[in-house]
A and B are shown apart, each in its own frame.
Chain A
Amino acid sequence: MSPDPNLITRHTGQSRIERNSRALVRIGVSALARFYREREQPILGAGFILLLILAWQSLPAIVSLPRGISLFFTTPVEVVKAFYRLVEANEIQSHVYVSALEFIVGLGLAIAVGFPLGLVMGRSKVIDAMLDPFITAFNATPRLVFLPLLMLWLGIGIWSKITIVFVGAVFPLLINTYEGVKNVDRVLVNVVRSFGANEWQTMKIVVLPNSVPYIVAGLRLAIGRALLGVVVGEFFGASKGLGFMIATAATNYKVDVVFVGVTIFMGLSLILTHLVKMVESRLSRWRLEEAKTF
């Protein structure tokens, strides 16, 4: 970058070197300011998170914690160390494997059931009316109430967890697919029908594309419910899995291990949510840019 000539001529009276170095500092500062201005949002966001982590890390060095609290206290560095220990001992891998299996199978089943059922309910008034009371009731109640029942029925193996993941994830998928089908524009249905489309073609050309954004939103909710199912299911009746690891670590006051588990869950859900968002924006290039809301 070449120095701005105006900058130099304003500073006559100073030695050339001094002038140049000052100018350089100025350029540096203004470049820095511009860098900040252009990226203020990510800098502030990431900065705050870093600051929190730093504060957490340095807390025990600044204030001496009372015994009662230091028992439950850990620092980010401790958490990272615990993570490496668990990886080296080949312990965490098997937990992750079991949790992932429960998550994938449960969510897969939920998709396989919720999506077609939502389509059928959206197109058939009778089935819709008949299933509606059940769906309203089950959707309003967190399906975790069934956990003790499922434990009773299915024991502590992976199937009780797969089932709780399934019942957690199936309703958002079903309901969102249903809403997507219901909210289809009548005019568009008429347009395709006027070109001679049959029911199946109408479905393919209008109804399905119209429900895609709803389905993806449903998938995002379903992922959250599925993770919840994995975590809580493993708390209360499992012999493997990240939730089990967290629960046992907590009872043994291994707070660093608790945070290893929590961080892995956080990371997973962030990655998955991000993936779904990417799919969403890919699939909805045709939509108007709307205000992002929750």
Chain B
Amino acid sequence: MALKETISEYRRPLLGVASVVGLTLVWEIAYTYFIPLDPFFFTKPSLIGVAVKDQTLSGELWKDLAISSKAFLWGFSLAVIVGIPIGVFMGWRRRAEYVLDPFLTALYASPLVALAPLFIIIFGVGLTGKVALIFLLAVFPFIFNVFAGVKCTDRLLVNVVRAFGGKEKDIYFKVILPSILPYIVAGARIAIGRGIVGILVAEFYGASEGIGFAISRFGDTYRLPEMFAAILLLMIMAVIFTEGLRKLETILAPWKIGQEAR
């Protein structure tokens, strides 16, 4: 009785877990007993599991991850530092919007990764090149989300603060900042994905270390289990970050839940 109720209450997550486990099992069994594909080109969950264990214990993958993370953090922080003020400025000053909006929108809509080869030959495959590329890709979500946030700031609240004797500084910190906070978080969520694209492209391109390099080297050397292990690790991290930020968004702005498309 109690079990039945628990099942119906957790039906959704249970079904999810069941389908993940089920797929893993089917894959394992099919590969082992029925369709033994060329191990150079394919692998199975148990081997991936071993690879995950080896790679994470030996610390090889962690080293690559640490190198990529460093570049990511630099590029991402620069994007925050540059993107937010530009967004606020564009949202708050009408003429700034007129001047900057078409140019920046055009850049945001374009596949700027196309510039990656140029960045790499100019800045090299080391930290600088990666940071530059990550910054270029990650800055726009911040600019445009903050811009939208400022535009949606309730002018009435601004007047309320003014009426109670608030200064320019109070308006920024008591009205604008709190109301754009959820937008910043939403921007960060989008920027994370674009930042990872930046890392991958830069490191696929000819780096000698980093997670992207690891994935592409495992591919070149037909070490499929290791490759899947690296991809899995990256996926887990991406899910933790994006879902975490999504949670944060709903905490900061519960009224906005599920409004914007992913």
Interface residues of A (CB under 8 A from B): 40-41, 44-49, 52, 72, 125-126, 129-134, 136-142, 144-149, 151-153, 172, 175-176, 179, 183, 214, 217-218, 221, 224, 227-228, 230-232, 235-236, 242-243, 246-247, 249-251, 253, 255, 258, 261-262, 265-266, 269-270, 273, 291, 293-294
Which stretch (B11-19, B72-80, B158-166) binds chain A?
Answer: B11-19
Q: Can you offer 7 A-B residue contacts whose CB atoms are under 8 A?
A: A48-B100, A130-B18, A144-B197, A221-B261, A265-B111, A269-B110, A293-B148
Query: What's the nearest-Cβ distance from chain B to residue A139, in Å?
Result: 7
Inter-chain contact B219/A142, CB cutoff 8 Å = no
Query: What's the nearest-Cβ distance from chain A to residue B27, in Å?
Result: 13
Inter-chain contact A232/B113, CB cutoff 8 Å = yes
Partner of A152, one of B16, B103, B204, B219: B219
Query: What's the nearest-Cβ distance from chain A to residue B5, in Å?
Result: 18
Partner of A250, one of B99, B113, B117: B117
B 201-225 to A, binary, CB cutoff 8 A, 1 in contact else 0:
1001100000000011011101000
Which 9 A-B residue pairs are closest in the complex by CB-CB distance? A250-B117, A148-B219, A45-B102, A129-B15, A130-B19, A44-B98, A266-B110, A293-B148, A140-B238
Inter-chain contact B122/A72, CB cutoff 8 Å = yes
Within residues 2 to 35 of chain B, which ones have a CB less than 8 A from any CB in chain A?
11-13, 15-20
Known A-B contacts A48-B99, A48-B103, A132-B16; A224 and B227 likewise in contact (beta carbons under 8 Å): no
The answer to whether B51 has its CB under 8 Å from any CB of chain A is no
Complex interface: chain A residues within 8 A of B13 (CB): 129
The answer to whether B53 has its CB under 8 Å from any CB of chain A is no
Query: What's the nearest-Cβ distance from chain A to residue B179, in Å?
Result: 13
The answer to whether B81 has its CB under 8 Å from any CB of chain A is no
Partner of A291, one of B41, B116, B120, B152: B152
Inter-chain contact B118/A258, CB cutoff 8 Å = yes
The answer to whether B121 has its CB under 8 Å from any CB of chain A is yes
Most buried by A among B114, B193, B239: B114
Q: In the bound complex, how far is the Cα of B195 from the Cα of A140, in angstroms?
A: 12
Inter-chain contact A175/B113, CB cutoff 8 Å = no
The answer to whether B200 has its CB under 8 Å from any CB of chain A is yes
Inter-chain contact A133/B19, CB cutoff 8 Å = yes
Known A-B contacts A175-B262, A227-B111, A291-B152; A232 and B99 likewise in contact (beta carbons under 8 Å): no
Partner of A265, one of B102, B110, B238, B262: B110
Most buried by B among A40, A41, A172, A224: A41
Query: What's the nearest-Cβ distance from chain A to residue B245, in Å?
Result: 10
Closest residue on chain B to residue A179 by CB atoms? B261
Complex interface: chain B residues within 8 A of A293 (CB): 148, 151-152, 260
The answer to whether B243 has its CB under 8 Å from any CB of chain A is yes
Inter-chain contact B145/A294, CB cutoff 8 Å = yes
Partner of A133, one of B20, B98, B115, B231: B20
Inter-chain contact B113/A231, CB cutoff 8 Å = yes
Inter-chain contact B200/A258, CB cutoff 8 Å = no
Inter-chain contact B98/A247, CB cutoff 8 Å = no
Inter-chain contact A142/B261, CB cutoff 8 Å = no
Closest residue on chain B to residue A129 by CB atoms? B15
Q: How many A-B residue pairs have CB under 8 A?
A: 181
A interface: dominant SS: helix
Inter-chain contact A142/B243, CB cutoff 8 Å = no
Known A-B contacts A250-B117, A261-B114; A232 and B219 likewise in contact (beta carbons under 8 Å): no
Inter-chain contact A45/B193, CB cutoff 8 Å = no
Q: In the bound complex, how far is the Cα of B103 from the Cα of A41, in angstroms?
A: 12
Inter-chain contact A152/B235, CB cutoff 8 Å = no
B 245-262 to A, binary, CB cutoff 8 A, 1 in contact else 0:
000000000000010111
Known A-B contacts A140-B243, A172-B262, A258-B117; A41 and B216 likewise in contact (beta carbons under 8 Å): no
Query: What's the nearest-Cβ distance from chain B to residue A240, in Å?
Result: 16
The answer to whether B101 has its CB under 8 Å from any CB of chain A is yes
Complex interface: chain B residues within 8 A of A228 (CB): 111, 113, 197
Closest residue on chain A to residue B149 by CB atoms? A293
Complex interface: chain B residues within 8 A of A41 (CB): 98
The answer to whether B57 has its CB under 8 Å from any CB of chain A is no
Complex interface: chain B residues within 8 A of A52 (CB): 103
The answer to whether B185 has its CB under 8 Å from any CB of chain A is no
Complex interface: chain B residues within 8 A of A134 (CB): 19-20
Most buried by B among A125, A136, A236: A136
Closest residue on chain A to residue B217 by CB atoms? A148
The answer to whether B156 has its CB under 8 Å from any CB of chain A is no
Q: In the bound complex, how far is the Cα of B243 from the Cα of A116, in angstroms?
A: 25
Known A-B contacts A45-B102, A142-B196, A266-B106; A148 and B216 likewise in contact (beta carbons under 8 Å): yes
Complex interface: chain B residues within 8 A of A246 (CB): 114, 117
Closest residue on chain A to residue B230 by CB atoms? A145
Q: In the bound complex, how far is the Cα of B109 from the Cα of A221, in angstroms?
A: 10
Inter-chain contact B239/A149, CB cutoff 8 Å = no
Inter-chain contact A152/B41, CB cutoff 8 Å = yes
Inter-chain contact A294/B117, CB cutoff 8 Å = no
B 99-139 to A, binary, CB cutoff 8 A, 1 in contact else 0:
11111001001110111111011100000000000000000
